[in-house]
Structure 1
Amino acid sequence: MPHLRLSFDLRRPSFASATSAQLAETVLDICSWADRLGFDLTYFGEHHGAADGYLPSPLVASGVAAGRTSRMKFRPILLTPFYHPIRLAEDLAIADLMSGGRMSPVFAAGYVHSEFEMYGVGRSERRARVIEAVEVCRKAWTGEPFEFRGETVRVTPRPAQRPGPPIIMAGAAEAPARRAAHLGDGFDPAEPQFWDWYRDECLKLGNDPGPWVPRGPTFLHVTHDPDAAWAEVGPNLMHAGNTYAKWIAESGHGTSNWYPPINSVDELRAGGAYQLVTPEQCIAIADELGADGHLIFRPLFGGTDPERAWASLRLFESEVLPHIEVTEA
């Protein structure tokens, strides 16, 4: 049966019932619970200056969560152009060292205009900054001196993983998908169709990463009463989806995305990307994904109330998990 994964972003819209501190505490409690149950990976997203408090420091969050777990790995999604590459290499090395080698960062280029303005970085610099960050991290993690912008520098201590944490590339277009084959140790695209370009380029280099691994719904919530659950968490899901839709539209990032603008909860429900399901339906989803698939839970998506998030997770634990065999990394 599929790999079980988590994803968090700490968003808290104005109508959310929980405080940011309560959401943060719940994230750590859920990570501890999931680690015990066999979840193998947690994502932390990154955005800056968002009115709803979207997490700006995924690497810090990953490090703190690692302290509450013992085996689960962490995949902070880093908007790489906003980081000084030497400091990024140092921070990732320490996070990996202190977590016992459980970091696999995603290097993303970013797309939200206001964030580039906030950091004083031109969008035209994205490609060069991502490439530099990858190259610097690889050199830094050897522990040996190397040249950086005309100076000899050295980064110590080394990360736990050797030669270093795997660098996973992000991408939402053909060019970064193909570039990922040359730069990264893996690829985590925004949409599955980009995998074909990545795999095609990998094959040219003599490496076959295999076919796209299927993933579950964008949002999955287990409940005995889907209608009531939609009424409870639907506004949170609309907020999360429409925030992404707004950012993508403003960026001119492309028309194909997981987050088209949504005008009502009924419209969101009809779209199918968000699934509020019974335990039996959840088992069917897991069966369809198979052993290689990824079943990703975003229990606090859009600032969902922690009690409702926990009700779903506990139901998954008691009435779904006993009927599926979890694939561990």
Structure 2
Amino acid sequence: MAVTNLRFNQVLPGLDRQEMSARYRATVEMAAFADKNGFDMISLEEHHGADNAWSPSPLSTAGAIFGATERIGVIVCALLAPLYDPIRLAEDIAVLDNISGGRLSLVAGIGYRPEEYAALGKEWKRRGKIQDEVLETLLKAWTGEPFEYRGTTVRVTPKPFTDPHPMVMVGGTAKASVRRAVRLRLPFYAAAPIPELERYYYELAAEEGFEGGFAILPPVKTRMIFCTEDPDKAWAEYGEYFLHEATTYAGWQTPDIASVVESSATTVAALREEGIYCCLTPDECVEIGQVGGLTDALILHPLVGGLPIDAGWASLQLFNDKVMPRNVPA
């Protein structure tokens, strides 16, 4: 049985104000629908300065979702931690953790776009050291006790709802990220299925006497799903939306970056052949779900690439009606 996940990033070519507002409202409404109908997780992400407004404020979005839901979890994958003021970030996450009753999870990423650092006044060349400071500060802040920070004594309140703190995983695809995770006694979340990083994490944890940590690798085959009774028709009508998102993301990548959802497609036909973005029938979704393990997911992306909201709702409703009741072990 696969985990059921809704992914949102509010991408919208053209940046129409009315449509942008509607998409954020649809995100919250779809999250409430997923909460009511037994979905497992909402996934949010973060980028800045994108021409299509790709999700610059996942914590604000998470707060709106928590206000409209009761049980579903939200994971920010990834939160670009070095771009935040550490104390304010500790406060914001603690408040969200209290609002949600412990439903917030975070993958702390370091990012890969220098222009994002420049826009927010952060030094790209110091990103590793900044990441260390942010994560170290969060862990101290969430104790609720006074601590030394940049030459003064500070205290962050309230403490998080989750004891000792919300789920924070160190994200990345480099051994430096693994070392950071083990040093801080945090889990590791790889952005790509790289088995040697998983092995390195457990080897290093054993050497350091760190027990209870874990490393997560995404499945080799990760799919962004649009659920439909007619895949050919869906590709013909909506393929350009899928391609827009895929080419935007690919345009940000560099040779030293690995991602499970990186596409090299430049045409809709090539994108369909790759199999990252998928138009699948309910039966195909069920078949995939039945062979999935705990780290696998049926990822619905109902507003992908600026997809019309009505089309996103149709996909979500079809999945709920014909996949969710059958998403059980074979």
Assess same fold via TM > 0.5: yes
Correspondence for 2:298 among 290, 295, 298? 295
RMSD of aligned alpha carbons: 2.3
Could you say which residue in structure 2 is the equivalent of 1:248? 253
Tell me the distance in 1 between the aligned counterparts of 2:67 and 2:156: 23
Could you say which residue in structure 2 is the equivalent of 1:232? 237
Could you say which residue in structure 2 is the equivalent of 1:149? 150
Correspondence for 2:312 among 309, 312, 320? 309
Tell me the distance in 2 between the aligned counterparts of 1:38 and 1:214: 23
Task: Give the superposition deviation at 1:179.
Answer: 2.5
Which residues of 2 match residues 166-315 of structure 1 at below 5 A?
A: 166-183=167-184, 185-193=186-194, 194-205=197-208, 206-207=210-211, 209=214, 212=217, 214=219, 217-249=222-254, 252-254=255-257, 258-290=261-293, 293-315=296-318
Structure 1: 5+ residue runs without aligned partners?
A: none
Could you say which residue in structure 2 is the equivalent of 1:80? 81
Contact 1:101/1:161 (8 A) holds in 2: yes
Identical residues among aligned pairs (%) = 37
State the one-letter code of the partner of 2:4. Answer: L
| Post-superposition CA distance 1:224-279 (Å, at most 9, x none) | 11011112221111111111111113xx5336763233210000011122221111
Q: What's the secondary structure of 2:42's corresponding residue?
A: strand
Distance 1:20 1:119, change over 3 A: same
Contact 1:41/1:73 (8 A) holds in 2: yes
- TM (normalized to structure 1)? 0.91
Task: Give the superposition deviation at 1:144.
Answer: 0.9
Aligned pair count?
A: 324
Q: What's the secondary structure of 1:86's corresponding residue?
A: helix
Which residues of 2 match residues 133-144 of structure 1 at below 5 A?
A: 133-144=134-145
Q: What's the secondary structure of 1:12's corresponding residue?
A: coil
Q: Identify the structure with bigger relative contact order (alpha carbons < 8 Å, sequence gap 6+).
A: 1
Could you say which residue in structure 1 is the equivalent of 2:35? 35
Contact 2:104/2:166 (8 A) holds in 1: yes
Distance 1:72 1:324, change over 3 A: same
State the one-letter code of the partner of 2:243. Answer: M
The answer to whether residue 46 in structure 2 is matched with residue 46 in structure 1 is: yes
More displaced 10-residue stretch of structure 1: 46-55 or 293-302: 293-302
Structure 2: 5+ residue runs without aligned partners?
A: none
Task: Give the superposition deviation at 1:209.
Answer: 2.8
